[in-house]
Structure 1
């Protein structure tokens, strides 16, 4: 869960700062300081990049990008990409240093109204480097494909 304050710094670009609280079963629930940027990159790609500094001193980062390709006025195809990294090994979270995770997917959304749109999609994800090794050591698979269904809503 995150609570962020956002301030426009340029046309189509905001700087964000705030806190993030992680909730994990049977483990630590770290709190993070968040600093990021969000905006519209060239060719209409929505970009969200953030760095997270935990109360334990662990530094991680995430970059997300998505693009809305209109098929009709209400039907939108959205490719999405995400990349995560860690500045150091964090074994209790199953993270190795360097690039830790990559995700790519596509969603098909139907806008009933601008504020409400159900979607279906497929996502592929893979742990990278030391993170993949840690996942395998714990008996997990570093690569997954999953189908998603949800609702995009805002007010």
Structure 2
């Protein structure tokens, strides 16, 4: 009799333990769901949609006579492969806006570091408005050089090109030196806008920024913007400055 009671007690304890184990397993499966696999491969989370904006230049360029205010910024919405871009830049000098370039672009990733882009550019400032179709490439070249090359065709059958490049040189974790250059060229002259055939304009600078926090960085710089070749002659005919080397103060920010 005692043997039968002992066996019954052990069986009851065993069933209780199994019940607790199943409850714990069920609780674990609810709290920590296992990832779903397709054909034995874990899916890559690359279909999200994000928004990013960068105010690369918001600066005052100081000179004895031709001080100016300049901005250069961009924003995009999309994922890892497809994005919609909005770009804007321009310069305000003595109440007159120049170099006003507004672009709406679609980009498609073609490699880990480069995107193809295409869209529309509108020169919108104090001068005559010009509209262009745009096609280009942008990304990170060897040693983390940020480069962008864009070709344009206007509604008047003219062609243009722009080459931009910059490179961040960390001095400390927060202090960063950035050389930058932008070159513009045109197939034909556009005298009313001050653009000459061939290499027409240059905008370059050496900026030293301090990242107070990662999204906000004031900077000091030496910048030069000027007309080249035929465009330089147009500037002299209008009694405008053909080039300015200036001390510059600005802010770089992103979200």
Normalising by structure 1, report the TM-score: 0.90
Unaligned runs of 5+ in 2: 1-101
CA distance in 1, matches of 2:118, 2:216: 27
Contact 1:58 1:90 in 2 (8 A): no
Match runs of 1:5-44 below 5 Å? 5-25=106-126, 27-44=127-144
Partner of 1:152: 252
- 8 A contact 2:128–2:193 mirrored in 1: no
Q: Is residue 161 of structure 2 the alignment partner of residue 69 of structure 1?
A: no
**Structure 1 pair 114–16 and aligned structure 2 pair: CA distance change class (3 A):** farther
Gaps of 5+ in 1: none
Matches within 5 A, 1:3-152: 3-25=104-126, 27-152=127-252
Q: Secondary structure at the match of 1:117?
A: strand
Q: Could you tell me whether the CA contact under 8 Å between 1:89 and 1:95 is conserved in 2?
A: yes
Q: How far apart, in 2, do the equivalents of 1:35 and 1:93 lie?
A: 22
Q: CA deviation at 1:131?
A: 0.9
Select between 127-136 and 117-126 the one with higher mean Cα deviation. 117-126
Q: Give the secondary structure class of the aligned counterpart of 2:212.
A: coil
- Bigger strand share: 1
Distance 1:112 1:134, change over 3 A: same
Provide the secondary structure at the position in 1 that maps to 2:234: helix
Q: Which moved more, 1:63-72 or 1:135-144?
A: 135-144
The 1-side partners of 2:246 and 2:103 are apart by 25
Structural RMSD (CA): 1.6
Paired with 1:132 and 1:102, the residues of 2 have a C-alpha distance of 11
Deviation by residue 1:89-133 (Cα, 9 ceiling, x = unmatched) = 111211111111123210111223333322221111231111111
Q: Which deviates more from structure 2 when the two are superposed, residues 94-103 or residues 145-154?
A: 145-154
Q: CA deviation at 1:153?
A: 2.3
Partner secondary structure for residue 11 of structure 1: coil
Greater CA deviation, 64-73 or 13-22?
Answer: 13-22
Q: How far off its partner does 1:38 sit?
A: 0.7
